[in-house]
Amino acid sequence: MTSAGGPTTPILHIDMDAFYASVAVRDRPELWEVPVIVGGGYRGVVLSANYLAREHGVRSGMPATRARRLCPQAVVVPPDHDLFASVSTAVIECFRRVTPVVEVVSLDEAFLDVSGSVRRLGQPAEIAEQVRATIHDEQAITCSVGVAATISVAKLASKRAKPDGVLVVPPEEITTFLHPLDVGELYGVGEKTRSMLHRLGLVTVGDVAHTPLRTLQRAVGDHLGRHLHELAWGDDRREVVARSSSAFGLGAGEPERSMGAQETFARDIDDRAVVLREVLRLTSTVTGRMRVAGVAGRTVTLTVRFADFTTITRSRTMSEASDVTQEIYRTATGLYDALGLQRARLRLVGVRVEGLAPRESVHHQHVLGEREHGWSEADRAVDRATRRFGSAAVRPASLLS
């Protein structure tokens, strides 16, 4: 449609490109140029396939035996669900750095409402490009983004942007974009409804749009008829609702089980002091989010990625759950030093706290001689100053440079 996007297109639908396959092969360069199928044991079904395998007709949900007939040269990779969940969580956190209004649909897709982020980050199309670049830098995988005024149009736009693209559909171009499409592409229209509409001679979205509403309702029912008519004209009144997906084992309103943050350096870093300053900044970000959510965690995980994209993750479980910046930073520093990296050049560093639980359920055991008021109270004083004066008002002295 267009590469421009303004405040009238605040909805982003971000869909990872062949997510499971991309994650499965990203650290295996020998598989980058060959067809790959994820899952699909001898009698199983295909979980995902990369684009080279899709060129042979392989699709997710397809029986493995058929997939092997279509593409006998494909390499079959077993799924690593823990890895998929970890990468997905990091991607969702990238989204939440852009806007708090993130509606997670599944491990590999989400809707974002960026209307509150335009002043800070630029127009929606620019935000889309920033998100794509960040995900590529941090996770070494790609995504496609649809940018539109409504959820349903943004969803369709991301599909048209694949792979690794951005498509903006301005309000004045919605009907030009929608009406040539097959009616089965409308968001939420399944194969059964598509077949029924085709039998009625309604093949394209334009056919549905130009059918009188009452005629359509008599054919398919009042509710479905009105719903289809609205979608055909891009009239989708649904709003993006901030929530996690049941794919993570979470429902709307349930607390997250882990929180983390990571940063890709502008250039590869081999200086311990610089790396640990970034670890402190990331830790401060994570613990601030934890305190807002009212949770504390025991397990600290440090991730480092080297210049050649090799990634190492190390974890340590503390004796007590905490949301205190200095306690978690001290643990993360211990994990970093234990790696013995010396002058290894790093591309990325990340900090995550896992095993989160409501803070009121965590009982802190005071140590003999410990000050009554310490780092925890200091963190909360910083939180109060941040809420009043902004995130740059108070920060550790080592981060002032």
Give all domains of the chain, ordered by start, each with its CATH number. Answer: 20-80 (3.40.1170.60), 188-232 (1.10.150), 258-399 (3.30.1490.100)
Q: Which entry of 109, 138, 256, 278 is annotated as an active-site residue?
A: 109
At 259 the pLDDT is 85
In this prediction the pTM is 0.68
> Mind listing the pLDDT tens digit for each residue in 278-335?
999 999 988 988 887 788 999 999 999 888 878 888 999 999 999 999 999 999 999 9
* 109 catalytically annotated: yes
> Mind listing the pLDDT tens digit for each residue in 334-345?
999 999 987 889
At 272 the pLDDT is 94
> Mind listing the pLDDT tens digit for each residue in 79-114?
888 788 888 888 998 998 899 899 998 889 999 999
| Residue 108 marked ligand-binding | yes
Residue pair 67/37 in contact by the 8 Å Cβ criterion: yes
> Mind listing the pLDDT tens digit for each residue in 347-374?
889 999 988 888 876 555 544 445 444 5
Average predicted confidence (pLDDT) for the chain: 85
Q: Looking at the predicted structure, is the pLDDT value of residue 7 above 80? A: no
Residue pair 243/95 in contact by the 8 Å Cβ criterion: no
At 58 the pLDDT is 95
| Residue 137 marked ligand-binding | no
Residue pair 22/16 in contact by the 8 Å Cβ criterion: yes
Q: Looking at the predicted structure, is the pLDDT value of residue 76 above 60? A: yes
